[in-house]
Amino acid sequence: MMKLIVSIFSVVLMFSELAQAQQLTQYNAAKVQRAIQLQQQDKIVQAIDVLADLSPSQPYDKAYVQRMLGVFHWQNGNSKAAVKSLSIAVNSQQLVDEQAWITQRMLADLLLTEQRFAEALPHYYQLTKTVPEKQKVGDLWFRIAQTHYQLSEWKKVLSALKQHQHTGKYKERNNDRQLLVLKLGAQLQLKHWKSAIPTLNALIVLEPNQAGWWQQLSSIQLRLNQPKHALDTLILAERQGIELSKSELKILAQLYAQRGIPEKAAQVMAQLAEYETDKEVIVTQATYWQAAKEWDKAITAWQKAAKFDNQYYWQVAQLQIQEGHYQQGLKSLDKVKDYNKTDDVALAKTRAYYKLNQLELALVNAKRANDFTPSNEAKGWIQYLSQLRKMES
């Protein structure tokens, strides 16, 4: 893009050289015309040599020759020499009207190409003060925004973009990706989270398959405590075919659970590559299935978790007993090795044996629970089961 702009400028300059040459002294005018002829024959090096040999004494002649040299050096691929010559021409203040403006614009763009950002800025700002009728001031402000961006001057980036978008001579380009990317970068650096949301929405419209825009949008929505919007964003991203990362899938599952849709949360966890091998993932999924009252799926998930850590046999046993699988529940309780759950395990066995009508074993476990940690529940079972035993005998 930069090469195209400078190339256009060089053509504009060339078209006016013959007309401008008549203002030169006769000797320099003849040399300039010769250089132009060589340039038109694609003999750029020879044209440069003709101009480089000149030593104009008149200020205007010197500025004019340096301007032409700048154009030729650029066409010859020597941007550093082009910057040097154009700087001499611009700083002389001998050039006037549109040609002076175009020359300074070319210099500013070349400095930007050379990454000499701080040097380019004063020229760009000077150019905005007097803009020829055929030129676009909005485009200048866009270059200024780009330059401030490279210098990490974020507030000035947004200020320049605002000027770019609201200038009377230049309409905002809503579909300009580069403009939106500049704006977003500055907004994120300044932590202008709310302002960044419409910018990201515009980028998503332009590039719906770009995962980064969706990811940044959902992240900002979470930062702003907008879980509903974040959930909607991630759902839309998936529908668009965006592959969510591991962390994003976990967040999506959490958001489903918070919205009161734990079964969807559990299904999302199953999308994780580690859902069969990662204990944390399996436990989270089991929790979601249990919250969704999908008891069989919850039992299966807790059993997977228990293979990594036998403490989870406690959850397996509770659900098995709840669902009437008493024998299976008792086997699972035997695998619970957590000392702190000794009384809870004994009480759970009490309930299971009671349901199996094995009152003696139920009473044994009720007493064991009370011996370990005396409680009203254990004492209640002891009293109740003792009465039943007397009645049966």
- 3 three-state secondary structure: helix
- Give, in order, the Cα–Cα distances in Å from 296 to each of 268, 289, 320: 18, 9, 9
In a domain, 108, yes or no: yes
Task: Give the integer Cα–Cα distance in Å for 318 and 254.
Answer: 24
Contact 222, 252 (CB under 8 A): no
pLDDT by residue, tens only, the chain of 393 residues: 445 444 444 544 554 554 455 478 889 889 888 988 998 888 989 999 999 988 888 899 999 999 999 999 999 989 899 999 999 999 999 888 888 999 999 999 999 999 999 999 999 999 999 888 877 787 899 999 999 999 999 999 999 999 988 875 444 454 489 999 999 999 999 999 999 999 999 999 999 999 999 999 999 999 999 999 999 999 999 999 999 999 999 999 999 999 999 999 999 999 997 778 899 999 999 999 999 999 999 999 999 999 999 999 999 999 999 999 999 999 999 999 887 789 999 999 999 999 999 999 999 999 999 999 999 999 999 999 999 988 876
Using a 10 angstrom Cβ sphere, with 0-12 exposed, 13-18 middle and 19 or more buried, the burial of residue 92 is middle
Nearest to residue 349, comparing CAs of 371, 370, 334?
A: 334
Q: How many domains does the chain have?
A: 2
Contact 216, 193 (CB under 8 A): no
In a domain, 102, yes or no: yes
The pTM score is 0.80
Expressed as residue numbers, the domain containing 80 is 1-135
Structure tokens at 44: 């750029």
Q: Which residue is it, tokens 């009203």?
A: 376
Task: Please tell me what DSSP assigns to residue 272.
Answer: S
The CATH number given to whatever domain includes residue 56 is 1.25.40.10
In a domain, 296, yes or no: no
How many residues can be counted in the chain? 393
- 104 three-state secondary structure: helix
Identify the domain boundary among 89, 118, 135: 135
Nearest to residue 365, comparing CAs of 187, 166, 355?
A: 355
Contact 218, 248 (CB under 8 A): yes
Task: Give the integer Cα–Cα distance in Å for 32 and 133.
Answer: 28
In a domain, 29, yes or no: yes
Q: Which residue is it, tokens 């509903």?
A: 228
